[in-house]
Chain A
Amino acid sequence: MEVDREDGRTATMLRPLACSRSVLNRAHGSASWSQGDTKVLAAVYGPKVGTKKTENPEKASIEVIWKPKTGQIGKLEREYEMILTRTLQSICILTINPNTTTSVIIQVVNDDGALLPCAINAACAALVDAGISLKHLAVAICCCLAETGCVILDPTKQEEQKMKASVYLVFPNSVLSVLQVSVTKIDEPMEHGIITSVTHGAMSVEDYFYCLKSGRAATAKLSNFLRSRLQNRLPSDLLGDT
């Protein structure tokens, strides 16, 4: 089952990825993430004193502010804010700074499909840049299901509209640990566990699991890219600090 994609990619090929960190001066951490023409800028401020509404004496809280490219924030953006907040809450270690709030501001620079996964990747890179303690990184991917039952990854906006269904998936990245003993008791590796799943459009249950499989295969590449981007700054960092 082959599909012709307008930009000449194969079904499982991602668009070119780009990620740069510390792009903003005043933010505690920031990152810009782009997948093809979709580009998102994320800034992290905090941990800072919480507002009354979000303060929790036992846990740190995370708020996400979504800024669309143009216009006012609507229901779609509110949903994105909620999904992002809960996804980031699940990867952060919240018990470290109780009573504080960390704000993550997402500014959409350009939307050409797979916007939410792109924003999740950007937010994750920005959190690392800000030095927020995380349990693991999260990598997000968008899978689309064509009428023929074929799964394509990382669609452009045009492709997203043509497809009958789409799935946004977020997985943890594989943990590199010096400890030989694996902590998991489950027969599946940790990076196969779903942090977040959002679907649009009707599909059969088997198709969903097919998307899941393709998504998992692709996140290995994404997660390596993210890790390499986060690592290559370390030597210069150390030089700068001393």
Chain B
Amino acid sequence: MGSSNASGDISADMEIDAFRRLFPVQFYERHFVKSLRPDARTLNSARDTSVALGAVSSANGSALVKIGCTTMLAAIKMEIMTPSTESPDEGNLAIEFHMPPICSPLVRPGRPADAAPVISKQLADTILSAGMINLKELCLVSGKAAWMAYLDICCLDADGALFDAALLSAVAAFSSLRIPVVSLNDEGRVFISEEMEEGKSKREPVNKEQRKLTLSNIPFSLTCVLHKNYILADPNAEEESIIETSVTVVLNSSGQLVSLYKPGGPVLAYTAAIQDCVALTKQRVQELQIILNEAISDMEVD
């Protein structure tokens, strides 16, 4: 390649910022040789992650998640619906991922981002196939009433690894979910009863003990980008735009592979690379589990 030689010659008397913009790949490669990245991380380390539960007070469950600068706000609203005849004792989930223009310069108002419906679909697939939520727990009265959980995830700052942050925020929102108390009225219809004072409530709540969902097999994900033989965990937006091959691995807490998602890209993933990505994800699952458990215990103290 002529360009790489040319960049090598002139890089000595060129400002760093100019070099970074003109020869982004060479700029990154020079870091990779030293096992570093421009933001001072090592190749395999993820960015700082924080989880705050209960960020939206009007929602039944919510969470604000930050992975580096990527920020996701997830909120769940529960509504009562009539279950479908095929599955009379199951509730349902509706997952929507939004990318408003505030999140990135690439999103224009009035024209929805291409990535948004794809990430919505991936999230719904992942959450359902991981077996995290038992839909039967969302049932109130078999065949008559069940919960519909509307999960909306809003991306506030899109700085790479959107799916990882969205999945973590979805999981965190579900773990902070408090199901409202419902009662049956005289006509046998289910309605959400307001939190009334003791003794004032005439009707017996239907779901007195069932206020929280039991989450099993919680899925956690890690996105890696592949460049030549290098594997970079948790890329930011700049890295994602320069290195086009990404692999997203989702593992659940019992160690099963929920999804291995590689949509094309110029680099072919060989068995060794896939194994490395899975191993990195295993480490990341443990990190994320600790972060999530801390957030849950923080909320319970409050």
Chain A residues close to B by CB (< 8 Å): 75-76, 78-79, 82-83, 85-90, 165, 167, 170, 172, 186, 188, 190, 192-205, 207-209, 212
> Within the assembled complex, what's the spacing in Å between the Cα atoms of A242 and B120?
53
B111-130 residues with Cβ-Cβ distance < 8 A to A are 114-115, 117-118, 120-122, 125, 129-130
Shortest Cβ distance from A194 into B: residue: B269
Mask: chain B, 265-283; 1 = CB below 8 Å from A; 0 = not: 1101111101000100000
Given A86-B264, A89-B264, A190-B268; A205-B257 close (CB under 8 Å): yes
Given A75-B117, A200-B125; A192-B270 close (CB under 8 Å): yes
> Within the assembled complex, what's the spacing in Å between the Cα atoms of A79 and B121?
7
Q: What are 24 A-B residue pairs whose CB atoms fall within 8 Å in the complex?
A: A78-B121, A79-B117, A79-B121, A79-B122, A82-B114, A82-B115, A86-B264, A87-B264, A89-B264, A172-B268, A188-B271, A193-B270, A194-B269, A194-B270, A197-B247, A197-B260, A200-B259, A201-B129, A202-B129, A203-B256, A205-B256, A205-B257, A207-B257, A212-B271
> Within the assembled complex, what's the spacing in Å between the Cα atoms of A127 and B134?
45
Interface residue from B118, B121, B270 paired with A188 (Cβ < 8 Å)? B270
Q: In the complex, how many residue pairs between chain A and chain B have their CB atoms under 8 Å apart? A: 99
Interface residue from A86, A170, A172, A208 paired with B260 (Cβ < 8 Å)? A208
- For A203, list chain B residues within 8 Å (CB): 256-257
- For A201, list chain B residues within 8 Å (CB): 129, 258
Given A78-B118, A83-B263, A195-B264; A202-B258 close (CB under 8 Å): yes
Given A76-B121, A205-B255, 15 more contacts at CB 8 Å? A75-B117, A75-B118, A79-B121, A82-B118, A89-B264, A90-B245, A193-B269, A194-B268, A196-B263, A197-B269, A198-B262, A199-B257, A203-B256, A205-B256, A212-B274
- For B270, list chain A residues within 8 Å (CB): 186, 188, 192-194
Mask: chain B, 82-124; 1 = CB below 8 Å from A; 0 = not: 0000000000000000000000000000000011011011100
B143 part of interface (Cβ distance < 8 Å): no
Min distance, Cβ A143 to any Cβ of chain B, angstroms: 12
- For B118, list chain A residues within 8 Å (CB): 75, 78-79, 82
- For A193, list chain B residues within 8 Å (CB): 268-270
Q: What are the nearest 6 A-B pairs in CB distance?
A: A193-B268, A86-B264, A87-B264, A90-B264, A75-B121, A78-B117
B223 part of interface (Cβ distance < 8 Å): no
- For B264, list chain A residues within 8 Å (CB): 83, 85-90, 170, 195-196
- For B245, list chain A residues within 8 Å (CB): 90
Q: Is the CB of B117 within 8 A of A204?
A: no
- For B114, list chain A residues within 8 Å (CB): 78, 82
Shortest Cβ distance from A89 into B: residue: B264
- For B122, list chain A residues within 8 Å (CB): 79
Q: Is the CB of B271 within 8 A of A202?
A: no
Chain B residues close to A by CB (< 8 Å): 114-115, 117-118, 120-122, 125, 129-131, 217, 245, 247, 252, 255-266, 268-272, 274, 278
Q: Is the CB of B257 within 8 A of A202?
A: yes
Q: Is the CB of B120 within 8 A of A75?
A: yes
- For A190, list chain B residues within 8 Å (CB): 268
- For B272, list chain A residues within 8 Å (CB): 188
Q: Is the CB of B256 within 8 A of A194?
A: no
Shortest Cβ distance from A196 into B: residue: B264
- For A75, list chain B residues within 8 Å (CB): 117-118, 120-121
Given A202-B130, A209-B271; A196-B262 close (CB under 8 Å): yes
> Within the assembled complex, what's the spacing in Å between the Cα atoms of A75 and B257?
23
- For A83, list chain B residues within 8 Å (CB): 263-264
> Within the assembled complex, what's the spacing in Å between the Cα atoms of A62 and B239?
22
Q: Is the CB of B269 within 8 A of A87?
A: no
Given A192-B270, A196-B264; A202-B121 close (CB under 8 Å): no
> Within the assembled complex, what's the spacing in Å between the Cα atoms of A192 and B271?
8
> Within the assembled complex, what's the spacing in Å between the Cα atoms of A88 and B266?
10
